[in-house]
Amino acid sequence: MRGVYRNYSAREAGQSVARLEALARLMDSQFVWPGTRFRFGLDPLVGLIPVVGDIISGLISTYLIWEARRLGAPKWLIARMMANTIFDTAVGSVPVVGVDALFRSNMKNMTLLRRHMERRGLTCPKGPIIRGEALHAG
């Protein structure tokens, strides 16, 4: 397939997608507002820091897109992911508290990537899979 910078095995691709989903979840929906079902992540919190917060959030979102490209995502998918990220960054730069928490571009992008990977026949494990000395969830 064109655009693949490295040939990943199905297992490596699945682990990579699971890792990216964990990062997207952290940025967009890791926490719950007490007493409600409203979920938010680090993205709107970091976005409270003027200018720098939006740049940091945008860079993390760009990393997710870069990894998707390394996994062989086609150009049309990368373009759609970039549009989501640009929209989220533009909305997040408006100094209105809470608006950035409503549009979860990282989660939308990971849904797009997961669907693409599943169409290619690469099943990705669902849920958090982070293995290491300090944390094993799932």
Query: Does residue 130 lie in a domain region?
Result: no
Answer yes or no: is 135 within a domain.
no
Copy the structure tokens of residue 38: 């409203």
> Which pTM does this prediction carry?
0.74
With tokens 């640009």, the residue in question is 86
Q: Is 134 within a domain? A: no
Q: State mean pLDDT over 65-75.
A: 90
pLDDT at 97 over 70: no
pLDDT tens digits for 2-58? 444 456 666 777 778 888 888 888 888 888 888 888 888 888 788 778 778 888 888
Pairing of β 39-40 and β 31-32: antiparallel
Whether 84 and 109 have beta carbons less than 8 Å apart is answered as yes
Domain, as residue range, for 94: 10-121
Q: What is the DSSP string of 76-87?
A: HHHHHHHHHHHH
Q: What letter does residue 34 receive in the DSSP assignment?
A: T
Number of structural domains in the chain: 1
Q: For residue 138, which amino acid is it?
A: G
